[in-house]
Amino acid sequence: MRIAVFGANGPTGRHLTEQALATGHEVVAVTRRPGSIAARPGLTVAVADATDPAAVDAAIGGTDAVLSALGARFSKEAITTYSASATAITEAMDRHGVKRLLTVSSSIADPNWRPTGAHFFNHVLDPLVNRRLGRTLHEDMRRMEAVIRGTGLDWTLVRPSGLFEHPVVTDFHTAETSADGVFTARADLAASMLREMEERRYVRTAMGVITKAVQPNIAKLIWNEGVKKK
């Protein structure tokens, strides 16, 4: 299968690209930064801003499926990356007759998501980090989901919990709407998307994905995902 990966040079996009190539797919790696990804057998690099309709149209042409791992940083200002890219991508897919779409969203998009037994997360971290510091980001994720839900595509909204790095894929868990857990390894997120692309268990609904086999060091996670990235 020939797939377009948006955000291919991002943390999750790199896992998606490597895993897809390893399983025999052809990949069109879509990135805004020329030279950030080296072309190699099975991989084509397309330079495009995911919010630019013409550039997105050119990247999607000739593909069988689209996987989006686009991301944005927390900001006090309004964020439009998710919704604007979703509009450009879905419209281009319609024009080219490409039906299968998987897009990374977040468990936060489910208003009823509260991980079992995670008292500190539910009552301290989630209200402070996700609902306050990440408010504008998650508002745009919800707009993105609304854009995608309004299409006639075979879409899946992929909702991980707190993302962290782990070198290998584990025995991850998926569930409709959202999954009961606090963390998701990016390797597992990528693997779940590739599996769902073919198995089609969650077409036109949301798929939660979590990692239970390993857990991140919280202090290291906050440093890597928050302080260090800034």
Res 158: pLDDT: 98
Nearest to 200, CA basis, from 101, 127, 110:
101
Q: What is the model's pLDDT at position 189? A: 98
Tokens found for residue 100: 């299968």
Instruction: State the pairing for strand pair 183-185/205-210.
Output: unpaired
For 194, residues 6+ apart whose C-beta sits below 8 A from its C-beta are 16, 19, 20, 23, 25, 67
Burial of 64 (0-12, 13-18, 19+ CB in 10 A): middle
- The predicted-structure confidence for 9-26, as pLDDT tens digits, reads as follows 999 999 999 999 999 999
Q: What is the CA radius of gyration of the chain?
A: 17
Residue appearing with tokens 């584990």: 170
For position 230, what pLDDT does the model report? 46
Q: How many whole angstroms separate alpha carbon 108 and alpha carbon 114?
A: 9
Classified as helix, coil or strand, 123 is helix
The pLDDT score that the predictor gives to residue 225 is: 53
Q: Tokens for 74? A: 């927390």
Q: What is the pLDDT of residues 65-74, one digit of tens each?
A: 999 999 988 7
Say which amino acid occupies 217. Answer: N
Residue ranges of the domains in the chain?
2-227
Task: Give the right CATH number for 2-227 from 3.20.20.150, 3.40.50.720, 3.90.79.10, 3.40.50.970.
Answer: 3.40.50.720
**What's this model's pTM, rounded to 2 decimal places?**
0.91
pLDDT of residue 227: 47
Kindly list the distances between the CA atom of residue 109 and the CA atoms of 80, 104, 139, in Å, as whole numbers in the listed order.
16, 11, 8
Q: Determine the pLDDT at residue 129.
A: 66
**What pLDDT does 123 receive?**
61
How far apart (Å, rounded) are the C-alpha atoms in residues 225 and 73? 10
What does the pLDDT read at residue 73?
A: 83
CA-closest candidate to residue 8, choices 85, 71, 16: 16
pLDDT beneath 50, residues of the chain:
227, 230
Which residue from 154, 159, 197, 155 is spatially nearest to 177, judged by alpha carbons?
159
Q: Kindly report, residue by residue over 119-149, the tens digit of the pLDDT.
A: 667 666 666 666 666 789 999 999 999 999 9
